[in-house]
Structure 1
Amino acid sequence: MMGPVLAACLLIILSTAWISQANGATCKKDGGVCTCNDQTKNVDCSSKGLTAIPINIPTDTDNLKLDYNKLSSLSAKAFHSLSSLTFLELSYNQLQTLPTGVFDHLVNLNELRLGTNQLTSLPPRVFDSLTKLTYLSLFNNQLQSVPRGTFDSLSSISSIELLGNPWDCSCNDILYLSKWIREKEGKVNGIESATCVNKKAVLEITEEEAAEDCVYLNTTTAIPTTIITTLASSNDDDIPELPVPQENFQKFLGYQEPDHLPTQPQCLMSISGYLGLMMFFVLISAAILYVIHFLKKA
């Protein structure tokens, strides 16, 4: 019976070592993937093929670079322990949306870079806590509008990049952004570059031009009640066929084709919770085996 007991003990040792590596694998000096500078408080995780943000980033980090990775989503609490951040770089990833509250603890942030992602929408009030933010980049995304009040709390903003988005100036959601740009014109750099899909400047859009209700199939925007009523009162043969853009259809159904597999460091980070559970069962098994061995000897 000593064989199983020794095996259980070996499993415990290996599991402990694996969990330790997964939980502390942020900086290269600790066996992680990122370059950390203790003097400047900079953490550079650029171009590491990351599909998840490394855990245990030092809490006193001032400058965090996560650009040129494969991040497609963020946890709502991804940055909650990093209230000292003044610079956050998330450009050149695959982010499609942002969770509500993801930036709530970044009260000292000066620069936020989200350019060249796949953002199709922003949650309401996502920047409310960023009162010290001076620079925001949202260029080269898929934004068609922003929720009312999105930029209202950016009292320190001096530069914002909005170009390279397909701003939809035919529906009334764009009116908030258009008004905000007009109010900040001459005070905030870069805002004039926002253009509609028809190349007209967003700041020039009038209420008459943006008179339609907005319906985006790849968001949670509600379908106008007029359409619902019309469809409900029509015969099957009379129901019009609504065009669905092919590139948005899979997103509308909630389907996304995986395009990569996580690398070894990301696997370790993502399964650390499961390893903890495994370690618990290993300990229980070892205790049971020990009791059996003791009883047989007695």
Structure 2
Amino acid sequence: MMGPVLAACLLIILSTAWISQANGATCKKDGGVCTCNDQTKNVDCSSKGLTAIPINIPADTDRLQLHMNKLSSLPHTAFHGLQTLTYLSLSYNDLKTLPEGVFDQLVNLNKLYLQDNKLTSLPRGIFDKLTKLTFLQLTENKLHFLQQGVFDELTELKTLQLQRNQLRRVPEGAFDKLQNIKDLRLDTNPWDCSCRDILYLSNWIREKKGTVSNIEAAECDGGTKAVLEITEEEAAEDCVYPNTTTAIPTTIITTLASSNDDDIPELPVPQENFQKFLGYQEPDHLPTQPQCLMSISGYLGLMMFFVLISAAILYVIHFLKKA
């Protein structure tokens, strides 16, 4: 009776192996694209030409390196299940937006690198769950405004890098909750020193001068004057900055209000906005070349699985006939 038992065990082992393979792999040792260190819990997926986050990143990962890839978007579930992560690098990619909640499960994250992407804005509440964050790098993006309260929950933050963006102002109270901030980089932004909104930043820099590094380097657009030197007389204008994609210039509002229905011009609608209006969404991500290769290996594994299953069944039938 040992023959059928051995055959059954063989079937179970083969099934388990195939299911594991079908689930995909992240680490090179398992056929994936990333280098994983079991001792340091470091997963290095940098410089792999990735267009999507690899699947099945080990749940106990401490450091995840995804810099120098071709990531242009992230699914909101990209980092779900990685509660032990303390270090995340997404620098030198092509990220244009961040989905709301993408970092919400990274409750132990200490350092976040987003340098050299194409971010134009940050969603409201994007950092609210990162209460242990001490280092945030947003250098070399295209940020042109900040949401009210976007940094309010980062009370442990010590370093914030915002240089080389397109910021012209920050909202009132933008940095007031950063109780432990020691280094804040604001230089190489086109700060608009003609508008009254700049006075909050000017006063804050003047107040923190000597206790927070690098803030004095912030200069007005054109480099004519340091932001901290701006006076109320110089910043006399009440400027309005559109800070959402739905903002309508005042000239258009005036024109529409003074026109008859027949006179209203037909405004061109960008294709991307029209697609959003119709409910069209791009898929979260497309498979990378390594992931496609893993899919092919999965099919080969499936074929091998069925071959071995057939062999095991024939063996059982042969044994039973002899019995």
- TM-score, normalising length: structure 2: 0.63
Q: Does the Cα contact within 8 Å between 1:159 and 1:189 map onto a contact in 2?
A: no
Q: Which has the larger radius of gyration?
A: 2
Give 2:245's aligned residue. 220
Q: Does the Cα contact within 8 Å between 2:25 and 2:32 map onto a contact in 1?
A: yes
Give 1:198's aligned residue. 222
Give 1:42's aligned residue. 42
Indicate how the Cα distance of structure 1 residues 108 and 140 shifts in structure 2: closer, same or farther if over 3 A, else same.
Answer: same
Residues 110-259 of structure 1 correspond to what in structure 2 (within 5 A)? 110-169=110-169, 170=192, 186-195=210-219, 197-199=221-223, 208=235, 211-215=238-242, 219-223=244-248, 227-234=252-259
Q: Does the Cα contact within 8 Å between 2:106 and 2:129 map onto a contact in 1?
A: yes
CA-CA distance at 1:154 after TM superposition: 1.1
CA-CA distance at 1:175 after TM superposition: 7.2
Q: Which amino acid aligns with 2:56?
A: N
Indicate how the Cα distance of structure 1 residues 227 and 174 shifts in structure 2: closer, same or farther if over 3 A, else same.
Answer: farther
Counterpart Cα distance in 1 of 2:258 and 2:100? 37
- TM-score, normalising length: structure 1: 0.67
Counterpart Cα distance in 1 of 2:218 and 2:271? 28
CA-CA distance at 1:211 after TM superposition: 2.7
Indicate how the Cα distance of structure 1 residues 186 and 24 shifts in structure 2: closer, same or farther if over 3 A, else same.
Answer: farther
- Give the gaps of 5 or more residues in structure 1: 1-12, 256-260, 280-298
- Give the gaps of 5 or more residues in structure 2: 1-13, 170-191, 277-285, 303-323
RMSD, matched Cα: 4.0
Q: Does the Cα contact within 8 Å between 1:174 and 1:210 map onto a contact in 2?
A: no
Q: Which amino acid aligns with 1:148?
A: Q
Q: Does the Cα contact within 8 Å between 1:161 and 1:191 map onto a contact in 2?
A: no
Counterpart Cα distance in 2 of 1:224 and 1:86? 43
Counterpart Cα distance in 1 of 2:139 and 2:104? 22
Deviations along 1:175-224, one digit per CA (max 9) or x if unpaired, are 776676666655544455555543465666678467322236xx524225
CA-CA distance at 1:50 after TM superposition: 0.6
Corresponding residue SS for 2:23: helix
Residues 267-286 of structure 1 correspond to what in structure 2 (within 5 A)? 267=292
Counterpart Cα distance in 1 of 2:230 and 2:246? 22
Counterpart Cα distance in 2 of 1:209 and 1:254? 41
